[in-house]
Structure 1
Amino acid sequence: MRQIINKINEIDFNSSEDRHLFNDFYETFLKDLQSAGNAGEFYTPRAVTQFMIDMTNPRLGEKVLDPATGTGGFLKSSIEHLMKQANTAEERKLVQKSILGTEKKQLPHVLAVTNLILHDVDTPNIRHDNSLSRPIRDYSLKDKVDVIATNPPFGGTEEDGIQANFPTSFRTKETADLFMILIMTLLKENGRGTVVLPDGFLFGEGVKTRIKKKLLEECNLHTIVRLPNGVFSPYTGIRTNILFFTKGESTKEIWYFDHPYPSGQKSYSKTKPIRIEEFDLEKKWWDNREENQYAWKVTIEDIQSKDYNLDIKNPHSEDEELLDPEEALQNYLKSLEQVNQVKQTLIEELSLILKEGSKV
């Protein structure tokens, strides 16, 4: 430990070269957390955060929020995106004030604050709090932001008291569902949102159906990018999706884009993670949308006729048919149960290690 401290003391944080080298080290450290058991829930692959910010395109002077900050990946990508637009010292200060976050858990909160400090934010505005603990009705216009980019914990559950902060028809214990209501509340008119959600949200019923109906009525859910298995491997194998929407106008049609694996690759892994270059397909298509082997669109009438089931198969794919929704839901719940069991085991093992260490 003494040797490590001595080495860190050698770093000159006033030196641009030293600071950038340390930034690279810190980012590698955060990336390694992805395979560190329950800590992995705090890390979204850099390629995914960068793509989401690139397409949401925060602009100088706009406020950007991540209400489930984790280690700060979305905020870091937002800073980099906005700093490219800043030409003066005043504009760079404006960027620092425009980045907002909230993180519930202590470890990722510390990691996120450090992450932003290393990216030239003198005083990171990241609250150590549960974003869901404040009643929805208490938010006013001054709390609203221009851009929200986040990956709320999927598979997480909240205690009964948290549900009381939400309207009766949207009360649920599932964390990601509650975050969707919060996001719609906190976006300004014409504000843009981008969120990572599992397949279970797309085909889920009950409260999920009511949340999706509200989303489609109050926002233009213009794009859903369907990610393949393994993007969040090894933390979870649950399939995920990136939703892009704009507050203030209802949805008329939804474009889907089925993100493919790179040529010659059948899965992602720690040594072969998803890369930002892979999203060039979506970026080239984004402003000139036409149906192709990866892209298709669905009208709001079709969605309504399916009772707001957003789990729409790629009509151009030759893969096997999607599972029956009931069977898919059971598989999804089984996967969540396995994830939670692994998390609990790791928490118990970590507690035991810390207990033994304290004796030493």
Structure 2
Amino acid sequence: MPFLKTAKLSAIAVAVVLSGCSFKEDRNDIVVPIIDAQPAQSSKLQFPQETQQKTKTVPTYSYTVRSGDTLGIIAQKYLGSSQRYTEILALNELKSSDAIYVGQKLQLPTKGLKQPDELQSSNSNKKSSDIEPNKTYPELNELVDSQQYNQAIQWILNQPELSNNVELQEQLVELALTQSKIYKRQQQVADAETLLSGLISEAPLTQNNQKALISELSTLKAEQELITAKRFADQSKFDESYDILLVAWQQVGQPLENNILFTTTRNKVSEHYHQKALRHYRSQELESALVYWKKILAVNPNDDLALVYQDRVKALQNKLENL
């Protein structure tokens, strides 16, 4: 048995040499930003001139790095998958250990490129309280203008044509979302849940309109659970905190990226899992290390450090299988 264990470790060591990786790496050796791109102030962050003047052999889209960007986030947002961060590395002649910085120009492949969102629609710039007047119903307009949203909701519910009137349904949903946000600001979460639950179960809405209310209710409930997740993380109960974060992410998804309670708690838990994964990695326990990086990616598909090391582990495993 000792001979078999030694042989296995030797095989892994050979694979490490073949792949150019080292198990002696530490968390601080990797400069992949997992939260924000760094401000472009230090000359140390400047890439060689020849890299920035790379000859383009394929059509590309020029992207300027913003605060909060990581390679995984850029790949997810513009290329449809965070796993495509490797294409950005190759196209810009970067290494996985290179940091990106605010203001840096990156070339993105045009294959599968999503429509850039620099130009937002006028609807996205509306305030949540800016509700379009309904020209057909002056009585409803008076209630909305006076911000009597609950009364306006009740007025719409009393209309016999509601089930067949898509315009009224959409305004009902808009009013409900606005009133829900007001309740949250007033710390009356129970009232917001009651309002949304009642409309979901009783109002004659189309499937899309009902989904909008269900999404808001799921977000509301998840936000309440995040308070518990933060408390667990502060108590170093990282597994318990992670379980709550995972459920919240599965239920709500991308909108939670704008929730500071979620992102700060996730960062704390992810950092703990990164450290555990690296300890396994340095001990040549590849599968155990991979478990933790997969857990991180389950709540943050754009975590650059987890993406990089996941690829490294898979490359090592492939080398071992071919020995």
| TM-score, with length taken from structure 1 | 0.23
Greater helix proportion: 2
Bigger radius of gyration among the two: 2
Greater strand proportion: 1
| TM-score, with length taken from structure 2 | 0.25
